[in-house]
Structure 1
Amino acid sequence: MTDDGLKQLLIYKSYRGPQYIRTTVTRHYSITMLISRLIPRPTLGTIPMAIRSLPKTTFGPAWKFSQPIRMQSNRGPRIADVLENLNDLKKQHGPRYDELVVSTRALLNGLRDSQSLDQLIQDRPVNVDYRDVLRAVYSLAPNGESSEPCLKLNDLEKVIPPYSNAVVWFMIYDLVTKKFVPRLEALDDKWKAMVKFNRIHGFGKIRARAFAEEGIETLNDLMIAEGGRFSISGAQKLAIQYHEEMDVMIPRAEVEEFDGIIKDALRREDPKLNFAIMGSYRRGENLSSDIDVVVWHESYVKKEKEKKRARKADPNSLMSKIVAALVSANIISPANIFSQGERKVLALTQLPKANSLHRQIDLRLCPIESLPYMLLGNTGDGKLMKIMRWRAIQRGWVLNEYAMGERDGVSISHSKCRIYK
């Protein structure tokens, strides 16, 4: 073992204390390591240049004091440094360490802004699963800062282990000691605007960059925009208006309420309509980021060829009847629909009771023959699906949410069990 490795081990042992003896090597392996062994990584030379290089912009410098920050980001935070920082805090505060807190709002915004920034910097490798970290924070504060304005470091250590989340714990340490995240604070005004816009549903990197290039710096500027060189759609205004509510994770109990209401609404519309709420809810998890619903009907057996998208949805289509049923149940408003097609609808939903938050709901209409693939692909999780798609590629097949088989060929299986085989 190198001197540096020995130092990290000693710091980790000091941090864990008596629990170090009970810690096994197996505990620290994750499914990410399994995926890295199953899926060979391409060499740098095979990665398209567009992915390896930063996009050309007219912003000028992307960072203030860019050179030191780039040096830090290239090196990356080490677990040993994180544990050493925490040990220093414990020595400095003694018994009062148990009372050290971090602002819930600052932590959530720091995580979301960092996720947005990583998406904008195309050549930066993303080593943090921000979704998992956000879920961990919401397990302590179900309604965000409104339920828990501050979170204790001791509680955060239990749900976000420092020895496997160096990037996140550097952020927490900075928020405790400096009250800001240096990496985000160092951004110039245009990059801060880009990060903010990229967080809004339906904007994306290209549109966020375009708005920032036009000199737009706040969401309020976008809301009052009328014509000129930039403008936003009604759906985008809707996303801006409710983006803070859409950021809040959804407790399982609330999704269960939606489940019951949707079941009754569809049964009244047509007893042959069936549905399932997918994603983390179907996996049995306690929190969901949105409500992903798959609906099927015996009359819709096979996926039809894509038709030219109509400006208005056919009121007699199966999807229009599904939406009408949910509107009648008072959980969807026609004014709160982002987009509606014959197979997919994106909208805001809200429980029909006081003080309920607006949530994002995705409705998918699935043909019967594709149901096993749709259920599998939308249940996940994402890591499992990466493994399965790679296994399909090894056999010369394509696996997606509609079928599995050779390109433009027939489907191989109509059973979830046979898909795994």
Structure 2
Amino acid sequence: MLTHTLKLSARAAVKHHAATRLPPPSQIHSIIATTTRRPTGAAAFSTSIPTNSARQKPFEDLRKAWGIDYDTVTLPTKLLLDALRDKAAVLEFGPNKARGNDFTQARRALAQLVPFGPVTTPTLSIAQVETVLPAENGRAWSLIRELVDTGRVGELERLSALMRAAASFLRIHNIGEKRAWEIAVAGARTFEDVINADKLGSVTITEAMKLSIEHMDDLELMIPRAEIDLHRAKIKHALGDEYGFEITGSYRRGQAVSSDIDLVVWHDSFKNARDHSGRLLDKVTAVLEAAEVLDPAKLFMGHTSTVKHRTGGMLTPPPVKHKTAPSVDPRKVIALTRLDASSPYRQIDIRLWPTDSLAYMLLGNTADDFLNKILRSRAKEEGLILNEYGMGQRQPSSSWFVDGTAIPASAEEDIFCRLAVPYLQPTECSYAVYSRILPRKYLWL
């Protein structure tokens, strides 16, 4: 598994890779290929999509192999979660990124069983895993089978030190595969190497990155719904009746766990994206700081009332500009929060949003990825463009709509109605639910 303490020292790595240059993506792919088992024979040339029964085969084979002893099979929780995380990370550097979603989704599903991580639940039975991980996730079940049989994942153990480090650095907040690779090529092999550096290659090591590493173990834990309920009560007490707010994402969909807290705040005085919202954001952050929801020292992006325009090394995204589109600056703060001194830190994303496009924002950030694709595809069929800022006539060669064509929506139901899609309640906006509600014609893109 990839760990905080990888064996090669930073000094040795720097010496070994002193003349190394960041290779193009195709070369990175070839590096992965040298440490990854490839299919041979007919399998190497197969382009068919696995059938449902083929995807279930790894799960069914595991059950058959253990027979009556199946219910007694267990795995160390940390071993399983780390393997799923690391397999997804390695795939980020190759041509098959989409396959990593299977491992990410499996890890997220398992979080329902171990919301507080391996410390409180050191082992999991395969029978427990079966209750939350669909049999159709063949890639994840193949990995589980290998762990059950051998106690390791051979592909991960065969990785070079360079690839092992690069994959581990993807765990740092706001680090993509390109920067993770460059940091590793520059000689870093451990998180300590990153913390102790000001710059690695062309990558400046920011305070936000260091903050992410400091609280990495907390941030990789999923958040139980009951805990977000407590955060919600704390936020409600701080904002009072002056502001409206909603926690979106998987929490609003009614799911048992979430990866972070997505908070949308609005105020009657901020109606349009053209309105200046800076002072209002200052007020919002001030009341959240006073209630100890925000800590100026635990900031990833944005600014707080006591630390103006501090970015933690990350710039607040500039307004979105198009030829005839309004300047849109939703003003976002990303920070760490916790209930009390004994609680783990959680990531909280705070957006201040204008009320005239609030319905679009709430729907876009509540619906899962596939539902958003369904709705945006329907809009495109009608010559419209749909995003979290609104919906209107599509501009040629643009991701914005023609000025003056915005379709007002006072509620999310209005958007479904305009697109002739059956309305879904927020708790119905997960694929597992709406796939049983929507007619099949809506599920084909």
Work out whether the TM-score is over 0.5: yes
Match of 1:85 in 2: 62
| 1:152 partnered with 2:125 | yes
CA RMSD of aligned residues (A): 2.6
Give how far 1:319 is off.
1.1
| 1:289 partnered with 2:284 | no
Q: 1:310-321 maps to which residues of 2 (within 5 A)? A: 317-321=279-283
| 1:55 partnered with 2:25 | yes
Give how far 1:62 is off.
2.4
Match of 1:413 in 2: 408
Give how far 1:56 is off.
3.9
Match of 1:324 in 2: 286
Q: 1:39-118 maps to which residues of 2 (within 5 A)? A: 55-57=25-27, 61-66=31-36, 68=38, 78-90=55-67, 94-95=68-69, 97-118=70-91
C-alpha distance 196-69 of structure 1, shift in aligned 2 (>3 A): farther
Give how far 1:277 is off.
0.6
C-alpha distance 219-63 of structure 1, shift in aligned 2 (>3 A): farther
| 1:401 partnered with 2:395 | no
C-alpha distance 129-366 of structure 1, shift in aligned 2 (>3 A): farther
Instruction: Please give the secondary structure, in 2, of the residue aligned with 1:338.
Output: strand
For 1:339 and 1:331, how far apart are their aligned partners in 2?
15
Instruction: Please give the secondary structure, in 2, of the residue aligned with 1:398.
Output: strand
C-alpha distance 113-65 of structure 1, shift in aligned 2 (>3 A): closer
| 1:349 partnered with 2:337 | yes
> Which deviates more, 134-143 or 170-179?
134-143
Give how far 1:345 is off.
0.5
Residues 389 and 399 of structure 1 are in contact (CA less than 8 Å); yes or no, is this contact kept in structure 2? yes
For 2:289 and 2:89, how far apart are their aligned partners in 1?
33
Gap regions ≥5 residues in structure 2: 1-23, 303-315, 317-329, 394-400, 418-445
Q: Give the partner amino acid of 1:172.
A: I
For 1:173 and 1:73, how far apart are their aligned partners in 2?
22
Give how far 1:106 is off.
1.3
State which of 174, 177, 182 in structure 1 corresponds to 2:149.
Answer: 177
For 2:172 and 2:199, how far apart are their aligned partners in 1?
20
> Which deviates more, 330-339 or 73-82?
73-82
Q: Give the partner amino acid of 1:359.
A: R
The one-character-per-residue Cα deviations of 1:341-390 (angstroms, maximum 9, x if unpaired) are: 57100111111x24200000000111010101001011112221110011
The one-character-per-residue Cα deviations of 1:225-284 (angstroms, maximum 9, x if unpaired) are: 1356454000110011111111101011110111111111112xxx42111011111111
C-alpha distance 197-69 of structure 1, shift in aligned 2 (>3 A): farther
For 2:40 and 2:362, how far apart are their aligned partners in 1?
42
State which of 297, 301, 311 in structure 2 corresponds to 1:335.
Answer: 297
C-alpha distance 186-225 of structure 1, shift in aligned 2 (>3 A): same
Instruction: Please give the secondary structure, in 2, of the residue aligned with 1:145.
Output: coil
Instruction: Please give the secondary structure, in 2, of the residue aligned with 1:317.
Output: helix
For 2:215 and 2:90, how far apart are their aligned partners in 1?
21
The one-character-per-residue Cα deviations of 1:179-201 (angstroms, maximum 9, x if unpaired) are: 11123222211111111111221
Gap regions ≥5 residues in structure 1: 1-53, 308-313
When the two structures are aligned, how many residues end up with a matched partner? 352
Residues 64 and 186 of structure 1 are in contact (CA less than 8 Å); yes or no, is this contact kept in structure 2? no
Match of 2:164 in 1: 192
C-alpha distance 336-57 of structure 1, shift in aligned 2 (>3 A): farther
Match of 1:8 in 2: none
Residues 262 and 348 of structure 2 are in contact (CA less than 8 Å); yes or no, is this contact kept in structure 1? yes
For 1:245 and 1:328, how far apart are their aligned partners in 2?
23
Alignment TM-score, normalising by the size of structure 1: 0.77
Residues 239 and 287 of structure 2 are in contact (CA less than 8 Å); yes or no, is this contact kept in structure 1? yes
Alignment TM-score, normalising by the size of structure 2: 0.73
Residues 63 and 188 of structure 1 are in contact (CA less than 8 Å); yes or no, is this contact kept in structure 2? no
C-alpha distance 304-74 of structure 1, shift in aligned 2 (>3 A): farther
The one-character-per-residue Cα deviations of 1:296-338 (angstroms, maximum 9, x if unpaired) are: 0111110028x9xxxxxx9x71112111111111122101011
| 1:206 partnered with 2:200 | no
Residues 243 and 265 of structure 2 are in contact (CA less than 8 Å); yes or no, is this contact kept in structure 1? yes
Match of 1:234 in 2: 207
For 1:183 and 1:294, how far apart are their aligned partners in 2?
42
Match of 1:279 in 2: 249
C-alpha distance 130-304 of structure 1, shift in aligned 2 (>3 A): farther
Q: 1:364-403 maps to which residues of 2 (within 5 A)? A: 364-403=351-390
Structure number having the greater helix percentage: 1
Percentage of pairs with the same residue: 36
Residues 146 and 153 of structure 2 are in contact (CA less than 8 Å); yes or no, is this contact kept in structure 1? yes
Give how far 1:135 is off.
3.1
Give how far 1:131 is off.
4.6
Residues 59 and 190 of structure 1 are in contact (CA less than 8 Å); yes or no, is this contact kept in structure 2? no
State which of 236, 239, 244 in structure 2 corresponds to 1:263.
Answer: 236
